[in-house]
Amino acid sequence: MTIDMYNLSLTTHSPDQTRRLGQLMGGLARGNDLFLLKGNLGTGKTHLVQGIAFGLGIKEYACSPSFMIAREYHGRLTLFHLDLYRLDHIEEIAGLGLDEYFHADAVCAIEWADKGIGVLPQDNLTIELEHLPGDIRKITFIPQGTRYVEMAGLLKDTLSQDREALWKLP
Ligand SMILES: Nc1ncnc2c1ncn2[C@@H]1O[C@H](COP(=O)(O)OP(=O)(O)O)[C@@H](O)[C@H]1O
Ligand SMILES: [Mg+2]
């Protein structure tokens, strides 16, 4: 794993490492948090969300929600996992009643969030995933709003103080 401290961008070298990065995020997550995941098919968005679920203490995480728009899991906080892949019109996304997923006891993670630009809240932690050759994925964090700048800072601190943090999680 390599970390670029300036861009808050890192690479993971296995699905497990991506899951563990998510687990670290889940540990830092608070109610009302919104994580927007962007990146092509197979870049690891679902693996990252699976890790977030583990980090929230969720045991029953199933598979990719590709055939469902929204799934709900219960841990330390509720996790709403949304996937906008199958939605092609912004009206469909606006019609989902997204507000119900943004509340104090829940974390909301949205795959294919780029499709929802304009109807999703401006304050969020955007995570861009890119496929590099082989099993390498470049993962870039773009915090928008004070809460997410703070969270991204904590994530960066954890990773910079301890570059092996991704492997030491329980
Ligand atoms: N570093 C990595 N991080 C995450 N997934 C990886 C990585 N390397 C290879 N993979 C593979 O890429 C695929 C990612 O799948 P998934 O998480 O469902 O992606 P997405 O939700 O972005 O379509 C899986 O088949 C996984 O095994
Ligand atoms: Mg997916």
Q: Are 118 and 84 contacting, i.e. CB atoms less than 8 angstroms apart?
A: no
Fold classification of 2-163 is: Rossmann fold (3.40.50)
Q: Which of 16, 37, 47, 131 to mutate to test the pocket of ligand 1 (most atoms within 8 A of CB)?
A: 47
Closest CA to 76 of 62, 60, 56: 56
Confidence of residue 2 (pLDDT cuts 50, 70, 90): low
Write out the two tokens for 34.
């919104």
Ligand 1 atom closest to Cα of residue 43: 22
d(C-alpha 53, C-alpha 114), whole Å:
22
Burial label, 147 (beta-carbon count in 10 A; 0-12, 13-18, 19+) = middle
Is the CB of residue 1 less than 8 Å from the CB of residue 73? no
Q: Kindly state if the Cβ of 41 falls inside 6 Å of ligand 1.
A: yes
User: What confidence tier does 15 reach under pLDDT thresholds 50, 70, 90?
Assistant: very high
pLDDT digits (tens, 9 = 90+) for 59-116: 887 655 556 789 999 999 999 999 999 898 888 888 888 989 998 999 999 999 999 9
Taking the domains of the chain in order of start, what are their residue ranges?
2-163
Average pLDDT of the chain, as a whole number = 89
The answer, yes or no, to whether residue 133 has pLDDT greater than 90, is: yes
Backbone angles phi, psi at 95, to 5 degrees: -80, -5
